Amino acid sequence: MALTSLVLLAGALAEQPAPTIPFEKYELANGLDVILAEDHSIPFVQVNIWYDVGSKDEVTGRTGFAHLFEHLMFQGSANHDTEYFQPLESIGASINGTTSFDRTNYFEGVPAEYLPLALWLESDRMGWLMPALTQEKLDNQREVVRNERRQRYENTPYGEVWVWLFENLYPEGHPYNVPTIGRHEDLEAANLDDVTAFFDTWYAPNNASLVICGDFDPAEAKVLVEQYFGEIPRGEEVESINSATAALTEEVVVHKVDDVPHEKLWVAWISPALYADGDAELDIVSSLLADGKDSLLYQTLVLDKKIAREVDAYQYSARLHGQYIIEATPAEGHTTEEVLAEIDGILAQLKTDGPSAEKVEIAVLNWEARFFDGLLTISSKANMLNSYNTFTGDPGFITQDLNRYRSVSPASVSNALNTWLPSDRRVVLHVAPEVGEEE
């Protein structure tokens, strides 16, 4: 499609009203947020629960607990003291859970007639997990998590990059200093009293939100929610960490040698938090730099000068801070230092000249298309509603979210570039193969 046509299409889309996800929100007496969103397009329903706790809320010496509970929550509860997956997988359900710095979530998609089963299972582990937790289960899942750390971080090429980046971006004691999976020594030291206290603090209905999205009758769903969740007692009032201070005062250069196939480079900055000013602009910067073969970094480093095999750039948005990251793999015969110098030149030129209006409009169009892709399934809609509710208090934040991108301009992109991506306050990580290891 020609550039002019793309720009016209972008303008036409920007004039369209923002999409909405119809929902009803109410609160149980015990503090549980309940969000109902009907979608009768397919005979399935999504049950999606977010707990407002992530690894940032752990205490020093007891890291990895939020992720540990992601595992323990599937090991059985008082009234279903066996594997959580079995009764759901037998009906064709999709089930999972994830943990981040900022939240923990659990979700299952089931045929519509099995909504009562999904709600009962979720309620039983919210209200009655601890009576079924034994030392044997704790020992087993603690070792599972430690093996996961070995497989994902320690024994995987470049797996420890995220440990090295975050420990250099953030000081010891900062909520983002330690990766979500935690430290071996902290997991080893955990006992039943520790994990019980963590669960009692964070996994209460007044620290959770439940979304039901899909093919269901709201009146029937409300009866089921009250039946299964209403008797779970409210927990102590606790507030997840919502703000923290961190700033780099200089460039931090880190060199690591590891069992990896190639040299690789990461450049990272502390950037705006999710939904903060500049967050959307840095998403657009990512498109300008590395989205497609005509993007600035790919065109120059990979196609024209052929000094890199691959390059990527992205704004990793999170609740307390964002992290803006550029990563690149040098081509054979070239070095991370060469690639870094070229990246710095491209960034400096973009800061000086600013992006063109046409390029910004196309980047916004591409982001808007990806945004709409997130509305195509009931699972993504359920998760979106819960994310907005947890982070903003408003499940209907979709309009404001999309308008953040629609209001991006070349001037605001230039401001974000110059404010958040200085060359003298960042982490530069060079990773090289052990001698004799590089292909």
Task: Please report the pLDDT score of residue 18 as a whole number.
Answer: 75
| Interval 368-382 mean pLDDT | 93
Note the pLDDT tens digit of each residue in 394-409: 999 999 999 999 999 9
pLDDT at 288 over 50: yes
Task: Please report the pLDDT score of residue 436 as a whole number.
Answer: 59
H or E element at residue 308 = strand 308-316
Which of 180, 196, 229 finishes a domain? 229
In a domain, residue 294? The reply is yes
Q: How far apart (Å, rounded) are the C-alpha atoms in residues 294 and 289? A: 9
| Interval 320-341 mean pLDDT | 98
Q: Are 45 and 110 a contacting pair, CB within 8 Å?
A: yes
How many domains does the chain contain in total?
2
Question: How many CB atoms lie under 10 A from the CB of residue 59?
Answer: 11
Task: Report the mean per-residue pLDDT for the chain.
Answer: 94
In a domain, residue 6? The reply is no
pLDDT at 1 over 70: no
| Interval 344-364 mean pLDDT | 97
Domain shared by 296 and 400, yes or no: yes
The rounded percent of the chain whose pLDDT value lies above 70 is 95
Note the pLDDT tens digit of each residue in 410-437: 999 999 999 999 999 999 999 999 975 4
pLDDT at 2 over 60: no
| Interval 35-53 mean pLDDT | 97
Question: 3-class SS at 234?
Answer: coil
Domain shared by 209 and 298, yes or no: no
Range of the structural domain that residue 364 is part of: 252-433
Extract the tokens encoding 336: 């991370």
CA distances from 247 to 47, 59, 168, 176 (A): 39, 21, 11, 13
Domain shared by 322 and 188, yes or no: no
Question: 3-class SS at 58?
Answer: coil
Domain shared by 189 and 287, yes or no: no
Task: Please report the pLDDT score of residue 19 as a whole number.
Answer: 86
DSSP conformation class of 7: H
Domain shared by 273 and 401, yes or no: yes
Task: Please report the pLDDT score of residue 360 as a whole number.
Answer: 97
Task: Please report the pLDDT score of residue 13 as a whole number.
Answer: 52
Domain shared by 209 and 262, yes or no: no
HSE of 252, CA atoms in CB hemisphere, 13 A: 19
Which of 229, 260, 275 finishes a domain? 229
Question: 3-class SS at 319?
Answer: coil
Q: How far apart (Å, rounded) are the C-alpha atoms in residues 318 and 102? A: 7
In a domain, residue 39? The reply is yes
Q: How far apart (Å, rounded) are the C-alpha atoms in residues 87 and 286? A: 43
Q: How far apart (Å, rounded) are the C-alpha atoms in residues 6 and 358? A: 9
Question: How many CB atoms lie under 10 A from the CB of residue 58?
Answer: 23
Task: Tell me how far the alpha carbon of residue 410 is from its chain's centroid.
Answer: 27
Sign of CA dihedral 160, 147, 61, 65: positive
In a domain, residue 239? The reply is no
CA distances from 146 to 19, 61, 126, 171 (A): 43, 15, 24, 24
What is the per-residue burial (b if ≥16 Cβ within 10 Å, else e) of 290-312? Answer: bbeeebbbbbbbbeeeebbbbbb
In a domain, residue 439? The reply is no
Which of 196, 229, 262 finishes a domain? 229
Q: How far apart (Å, rounded) are the C-alpha atoms in residues 327 and 305? A: 17
Contacts of 1 (CB under 8 A, 6+ apart): 9
| Interval 247-261 mean pLDDT | 96
Q: Are 71 and 145 a contacting pair, CB within 8 Å?
A: yes
| Interval 294-316 mean pLDDT | 97
Domain shared by 197 and 295, yes or no: no
In a domain, residue 400? The reply is yes
| Interval 275-302 mean pLDDT | 97
Domain shared by 288 and 196, yes or no: no
CA distances from 58 to 197, 321, 396 (A): 11, 17, 29
In a domain, residue 306? The reply is yes
- In sequence order, the β-bridge partners of residue 330 are 308
Note the pLDDT tens digit of each residue in 110-135: 999 999 999 999 999 999 999 999 99
Q: Are 75 and 137 a contacting pair, CB within 8 Å?
A: yes
Task: Please report the pLDDT score of residue 17 as a whole number.
Answer: 75
Domain shared by 260 and 151, yes or no: no
Task: Please report the pLDDT score of residue 3 as a whole number.
Answer: 43
H or E element at residue 34 = strand 33-38
In a domain, residue 57? The reply is yes
Domain shared by 57 and 186, yes or no: yes
For residue 424, the domain's CATH number is 3.30.830.10
Q: How far apart (Å, rounded) are the C-alpha atoms in residues 350 and 287? A: 13
- Secondary structure, 3-state, 338-394: HHHHHHHHHHHHHHHHCCCHHHHHHHHHHHHHHHHHCCCCHHHHHHHHHHHHHHHCC
Domain shared by 139 and 191, yes or no: yes
Domain shared by 353 and 415, yes or no: yes
Task: Please report the pLDDT score of residue 165 as a whole number.
Answer: 98
